[in-house]
Amino acid sequence: MPLFPLRISSLVKPGHSLLSRFSSHGPRPFASRRFFYGYISDTKMAPQLEPFFKQVDSSSETFIDRLRKAVAIPSVSAQDENRKDVFRMAQFLADELKALGAEVEQRPLGKQPGKEHLDLPPVVVARYGNDKNKRTILVYGHYDVQPALKEDGWATEPFELTIDEKGRMFGRGSTDDKGPVLGWLNVIEAHRKAGVEMPVNLLCCFEGMEEYGSEGLDDFIQAEAKHYFKDTDAVCISDNYWLGTEKPCLTYGLRGCNYYSVSISGPAQDLHSGVFGGSAHEPMTDLVNVLSKLVDAQGNILIPGLMDLVAPLTEEEKALYPNISYTMDNLHESLGSETGIHPTKERTLMARWRYPSLSIHGVEGAYSAPGAKTVIPAKVIGKFSIRTVPNMESADVNKLVFDHIKAEFAKLNSKNTLDVWLQHDGKWWVASPKHWNFTAASKAVEQVFGVEPDMTREGGSIPVTLTFEQATGKNVLLLPMGSSTDAAHSINEKLDRRNYIEGTKLLGAYLHYVAEEPTSA
Amino acid sequence: MPLFPLRISSLVKPGHSLLSRFSSHGPRPFASRRFFYGYISDTKMAPQLEPFFKQVDSSSETFIDRLRKAVAIPSVSAQDENRKDVFRMAQFLADELKALGAEVEQRPLGKQPGKEHLDLPPVVVARYGNDKNKRTILVYGHYDVQPALKEDGWATEPFELTIDEKGRMFGRGSTDDKGPVLGWLNVIEAHRKAGVEMPVNLLCCFEGMEEYGSEGLDDFIQAEAKHYFKDTDAVCISDNYWLGTEKPCLTYGLRGCNYYSVSISGPAQDLHSGVFGGSAHEPMTDLVNVLSKLVDAQGNILIPGLMDLVAPLTEEEKALYPNISYTMDNLHESLGSETGIHPTKERTLMARWRYPSLSIHGVEGAYSAPGAKTVIPAKVIGKFSIRTVPNMESADVNKLVFDHIKAEFAKLNSKNTLDVWLQHDGKWWVASPKHWNFTAASKAVEQVFGVEPDMTREGGSIPVTLTFEQATGKNVLLLPMGSSTDAAHSINEKLDRRNYIEGTKLLGAYLHYVAEEPTSA
């Protein structure tokens, strides 16, 4: 297998709009970087990015039309009446992939647990290329969407892709996650039209239940890890977002989440506060007291021993933060208020990414409607969760939580009954950002956008990330297409035309650099 | 106006079942008490209780049939579709009263505020007797009922009066408040049939919106105080319950209620706890903290200065408690648990009746459903109320509450925004249990049930009580007919046959003693 230098500096066009818009960072012409030695199949020439990029530009209306067709299918997984549309969307994807020359299967997942009148939507799996001398990249996305109604406050019809003068393409699923999913199809199409060989074998895993808990997917991935997905060399997931609006990022970490319920019960039924107020222990009084002992107003977790589980901050890690394109104004804008806890962006991002947090979500069983009701609830269940980070093991966290809550409740000398349990947990995930999978993606960002990407983590969890890592044993990369302003899950969801078209280039370029990266990285 | 002794000892029948069942207290033959000097009209003989009582016994099936007809009308004021039935019930009452010889009017209250497509049910007012030489007693009750569906768990059809072998008469409204309302009609009927003159003029005020906030009633009472109700010498309300199941009570006090909302807001919209947990001040964290500073697990109110507003316990008042027929088992039975705070019945009843209490009812805006949602609510509103007692003035209570909450919130150093306000207040009420209105009722209880009544207060509020007192300036007595096990507002509401029939005797006897009590008492 010959290795040869791929000179990409030729692709850099001085004054290219995408480069020049990052003038504050300064354009970073690719030529200034070292040459790369690719991992190339057989004796063929390395595929070239320039014709691919050109083809993406000239096919852009076709690609937008593909997104328009996809958005028009209301594949809302959470609503029974739309289940047929979710299946229709699976068929659409399968048809498109087949037309592009991929081998496609729609894999059934059986009945929906708890809703046995519904079939789960299939996982659409596809293979494009089967060359043993190429790397195989497994890409994941989802083709179902969040619910959307015009009357929720959408400015446009949610299931009609509507493009405004700024190139914002509004529509449910545009950014989450139909745009990124179609990005992979666009990559295949542009290669075929440009006559450029795909540099890797591509395996696709597109699910239809992501917005409803990815029912059935974990088992499917585990089962196929040594079968359909067995050739996988690395995994790429495009289902998150840039930190801001201008600078792409690669995401190498996610926090986990341990979700708890703490129940306090006393009387056999709800009581009238006039009759019983003052003479009976009130579960809500006890609960409020216990919940107030979990976290202080500055976000400090009050559970003894919990912070000792957190991996210490290293100088190396600390050094990553100052360069990240994020400001306190970004925080205030996303909050819609200036109620951030920390004074600097570094501390803010660390609090979000690499330290645990504890949020109290609400109370079940108490009076929650507007107005005034004088009930003493008989049983109340407080809900809170802890976002976990390295090296917090779930079992250790649980023990500290349970012990602390029991101790605080005991101090109350209440005759009520306490119960506390874990509702669910999901582990944190941190990948090595020095793996070739990340290096390739970094180079692709630099090539397409002219900037080094932010290396980010996220505060939330994307459970499928860890599932892929554990099932395949391979490196997983999160490579987002959309920006922080895309309003996924909200009204007026959109994907910018630039993010979609340049994002398609990014996904393609990533595959080329993946093909070229040395294994040792 | 001649005054003459009414010797009622002749009415005591040794071995009478109602007397003998109170053997633990021992029958208290009326003959052992002093003679009473009545306030009698013109030259007529005082009406006799014996023929009235006999007539009630012999008319009992007629009276039960009257209740059966009333229960069959589903006069649910909270449900739009039953509004016609509420009107039907008003008509039923008006017809019955008219047939008994009363002057009756159905007074319209206009449209229902906020539901202008609905007319408020009328107040049925009636006058029976207009003798200037007799006292005039204004009686209040309500003819609307709580909602009820068989499928809520009723053992019988809720709107079919069903009598079991123990004499329990099940049906919605049986005890709350159709039984007591019809009690007054039964009293008139029994007098007429027995040929006994009514000892007082009776004014009736029966409303049809009590279970839905008595919309419009306060204004009506204020407006009629110097008109329809102008002759009122005292007021009697039968719309509460005995403390237990065997011993009647007279109720001379109610706690008031100040209901508060405390709102804490921060971000412009709900946040994802993964993304923002740890980097933004969370309103729910602050709220839980503030709420935990209001009351401790032993029911002690933590608001500085609040307890200083409470009238001190006098020795005289303290002496009332030991004799009251109540046990800790009664408390545990009604709680369905042994989660009472205080070790003795005296402290329990004082906590319920004569000390304030603070209950936290719930949180609006936080996650309240079953399951797990990882939201950070943007704005949460805690609801709590303080049951007030003499001599707590609402304005003083508000100031202490607001100051305390603001001070506790300030300690948190949160950037969120606090707001706290009073949703509504209702003043406590305490009448003089030595007023002739109470003395008369006490004698009536002793006459009918052979025991001295418990002199009770209630922890809850019956706002119309205070309205009548303030509007008429007269003494108001709460004279319950039903027992503590009647399950008003719950499934399987019932009124015991004994409580209904002996209760009718009680209401009639009360009117006779009212006629005889000296004004100075």
pLDDT digits over B56-68, tens only?
999 999 999 999 9
Return the higher-pLDDT residue of B7 and B90: B90
Reported as a pLDDT band with limits 50, 70 and 90, residue B35 is very low
Q: B60: which 2 tokens?
A: 């009992």
Q: Does A332 touch chain B (CB under 8 A)?
A: no
Nearest to A202 by CA among A310, A88, A102, A89: A102
Distance CA B215, CA B212 (A): 7
Q: Does B338 touch chain A (CB under 8 A)?
A: yes
CB-CB neighbours of B186 under 10 Å: 28
How much helix, strand and coil, in percent to the nearest 5, is found in chain A?
35, 20, 40
Phi, psi of A445 (to 5 degrees): -60, -45
B489: nearest CA in chain A? A272
B211 annotated ligand binder? yes
**B366, pLDDT greater than 70:** yes
**In whole angstroms, how far apart are CA B447 and each of A163, B46, B84, B305?**
87, 16, 41, 46
Phi, psi of A144 (to 5 degrees): -90, 165
Distance CA A47, CA A332 (A): 44
Return the higher-pLDDT residue of B320 and A231: A231
Catalytic residue among B85, B210, B282, B286: B210
Burial B221-233 (b: 16+ CB within 10 A, else e): beebbeebbebbb
Reported as a pLDDT band with limits 50, 70 and 90, residue A447 is very high
What is the ipTM metric for this complex? 0.83
Question: Out of A277, A337, A348, whose CB is closest to B279?
Answer: A348
Among B residues 225-254, those touching chain A with beta carbons less than 8 Å apart? none
Nearest to A473 by CA among A222, A279, A303: A222
Of A427-431, B32-36, B219-223, B239-243, the least confident: B32-36
Nearest to B431 by CA among B393, B386, B468, B395: B468
Residues A321, B326: contact at Cβ < 8 Å?
no
Distance CA A66, CA B30 (A): 96
Lookup result for tokens 């016994």: B57
Q: What is the DSSP letter of A228?
A: T
What pLDDT is attached to residue B152? 87
Average pLDDT value for residue range B403-419: 98
Reported as a pLDDT band with limits 50, 70 and 90, residue B459 is very high
Percent of chain B with pLDDT over 90: 81
Nearest to B348 by CA among B456, B245, B481, B259: B456
Reported as a pLDDT band with limits 50, 70 and 90, residue A461 is confident
Catalytic residue among A96, A189, A210, A493: A210
What pLDDT is attached to residue A100? 98
**B7, pLDDT greater than 70:** no
**A294, pLDDT greater than 80:** yes
3-state secondary structure of A225: coil
Average pLDDT value for residue range B418-434: 94
Sign of dihedral through CA atoms A279, A284, A287, A293? negative
pLDDT tens for each residue of B500-515: 999 999 999 999 999 9
pLDDT tens for each residue of A256-287: 999 999 999 999 988 989 989 999 999 999 99
Distance CA A171, CA A493 (A): 6
Is A144 an annotated catalytic residue?
A: yes
- Domains, chain A: 18-253+429-516 (3.40.630.10), 256-311+354-426 (3.30.70.360)
Q: B136: which 2 tokens?
A: 């005039």
Residues B394, B402: contact at Cβ < 8 Å?
no
Distance CA A293, CA A372 (A): 27
Average pLDDT value for residue range A98-102: 98
Q: Does A462 touch chain B (CB under 8 A)?
A: no
Reported as a pLDDT band with limits 50, 70 and 90, residue A519 is confident
A373: nearest CA in chain B? B361
Nearest to B134 by CA among B517, B462, B521, B458: B517
CA dihedral B173, B179, B181, B184 (to 10 degrees): 170
Q: B171: which 2 tokens?
A: 């049906």
Reported as a pLDDT band with limits 50, 70 and 90, residue B496 is very high
| A272 interaction partners in chain B (CB closer than 8 Å) | 459-460
Reported as a pLDDT band with limits 50, 70 and 90, residue B489 is confident
Q: What is the DSSP letter of A131?
A: -
**A4, pLDDT greater than 60:** no
B272 annotated ligand binder? yes
**A25, pLDDT greater than 80:** no
Distance CA B426, CA B424 (A): 7
Reported as a pLDDT band with limits 50, 70 and 90, residue A442 is very high
Distance CA A126, CA B91 (A): 75
Distance CA B460, CA A281 (A): 17
Q: B219: which 2 tokens?
A: 């204004």
A514 Ramachandran zone, left/alpha/beta (phi>0; psi -120 to 50): alpha
Return the higher-pLDDT residue of B291 and A485: B291
A272 annotated ligand binder? yes
- In angstroms, the first-to-last Cα distance of chain B is 19
What pLDDT is attached to residue B47? 53
pLDDT tens for each residue of A323-334: 999 999 999 988
**A29, pLDDT greater than 50:** no
Q: What residue type is B137 in one-letter code?
A: I
Residues A520, A498: contact at Cβ < 8 Å?
no
3-state secondary structure of B350: helix
Mean pLDDT, chain B, whole residue set: 90
What pLDDT is attached to residue A32? 28
Q: What is the DSSP letter of A231?
A: T
